[in-house]
Amino acid sequence: MPPKQATSDLRLKDRAGSIFDQLMPIFATLAALLVGAIFLMLLGANPLVAYGALAQGAFGSFNAFTETLVKAVPLLLVGLGTCIAYRGSVTNIGGEGQMIIGAILSTWFGLTFTELPGWLAIIIAMLLGIIGGMIWGGIPGILKAYFNVNEILSTVMMNAIAVQVMNYLMRGPMIDPVQREAASQIPQTARLLETYRLPRLSPTRLHMGLLIAILLAVAVYFLLWRTTLGYRIRAVGQSQPASKYGGIDVKKHIVVALLLSGAFAGLAGMMQVYGVNYRMITDGSATGFTGNAGFNGIVAALFGQLHPLITIPASVLFGGLLVGANAMQRVVQVPSALITALNGLVVVFVVSSEFFRRRSQKRRQSQFGTELAEPEDAEMQQEAGEA
Partner 1 sequence: MQKNSPVINEKVAFETLEMRGITKRFPGVLANDNVNFDLRAGEVHALLGENGAGKSTLMKILYGMYHPDAGEILINGKTVRINSPTSAIQQGIGMIHQHFMLVPTLTVAENVALGLPSSRKPLTDLDRVSERIISLADKYHLSIDPSAYIWQLSVGQQQRVEIIKALYRGAAILLLDEPTAVLTPQEVNELFAIMRQMQSDGYGLVFISHKLHEVISISERVTVLRDGRNVGTRLTCDVTQNTLAKWMVGREIEFIKSTDKPQVGEVRLALEDVSCRSDRGVEGLRGVNLTVHSGEIVGLAGVSGNGQLELAEALTGLRPITKGRILIEGEDVTGKKPAEITEKGLSYIPEERMKDGMIRDFSISENLVLREHHKMPFSKHGFLQMSYINDHADRLIEQYRVKTPSRKTLAKSLSGGNIQKVLLARELSREPRAIVAAQPTRGLDIGASEYVHEQLLMERKKGTAILLISEDLDEILALADRIAVIYEGKIMDILPRETATKEDIGLLMAGVHPGETIRNEKCD
Task: Determine which residue in the list 143, 235, 260, 317 makes contact with partner 1, applying CB under 8 A.
Answer: 235
| Binding status of residue 362 toward partner 1 by CB under 8 A | no
Q: Is 7 in the site for partner 1 (CB under 8 A)?
A: yes
Question: What burial letters (b/e) apply to 118-148, b meaning 16+ CB within 10 Å?
Answer: eeebbeebbbbbbbbbbbbbbbbbbbbbeee
With vertex at residue 119, the alpha carbon angle to CA 99 and CA 202, rounded to the nearest 5 degrees, is: 80
Number of residues that bind partner 1 (CB under 8 A): 44
Give exposure, 156-178, as e/b (b: 16+ Cβ within 10 Å).
eebbeebbeebbebbbeebbbee
- Of 144, 197, 234, 253, the one binding partner 1 (CB under 8 A) is 234
Q: How far is the CB of 371 from partner 1 (least distance, A)?
A: 8
Nearer to partner 1, 102 or 237 (CB): 237
203: preceding bond cis by omega (within 30 degrees)? yes
- Residue 2 parent element (H or E): none
Q: Does the footprint of partner 1 cover residue 378 (CB under 8 A)?
A: yes
250 lies in the site for partner 1, by CB under 8 A: no
User: Does 203 engage in binding with partner 1 (CB under 8 A)?
Assistant: no
User: What are the φ and ψ backbone dihedral angles of 200, each rounded to 5 degrees?
Assistant: -115, 160
385 is a site residue for partner 1 (CB under 8 A): yes
By CB under 8 A, is residue 364 in contact with partner 1?
no
Is residue 218 at the binding interface for partner 1, with CB under 8 A as the rule? no
Does the protein bind partner 1 through residue 369 (CB under 8 A)?
Answer: yes
> Of the two residues 191 and 244, which places its CB atom closer to partner 1 in the complex?
244
Q: What is the distance between the alpha carbons of residues 274 and 209, in angstroms, rounded to a whole number?
A: 9
Q: Which pairs count as long-range contacts for 215-222, CB under 8 Å and 24+ apart, including other chains? A: 216/77, 216/80, 216/264, 217/76, 217/80, 217/308, 217/309, 217/311, 217/312, 218/308, 218/309, 220/80, 220/83, 220/84, 220/308, 221/307, 221/308, 221/309
Among 246, 284, 285, 366, binds partner 1 (CB under 8 A): 246
- Nearest approach, Cβ of 222 to partner 1 (angstroms)? 8
The residue from 46, 150, 185, 238 that contacts partner 1 (CB under 8 A) is 238
Is position 340 an interface residue for partner 1 (rule: CB under 8 A)?
no
By CB under 8 A, name the one of 23, 41, 215, 242 that touches partner 1. 242
Q: Which residues, other chains included, contact 372 with Cβ-Cβ below 8 Å and sequence gap of 6+?
A: 366
Q: Is 379 in the site for partner 1 (CB under 8 A)?
A: yes
Q: Which residues bind partner 1 (CB under 8 A)?
A: 1-2, 7, 10-11, 14, 225-232, 234-235, 238-239, 241-249, 368-370, 373-376, 378-387
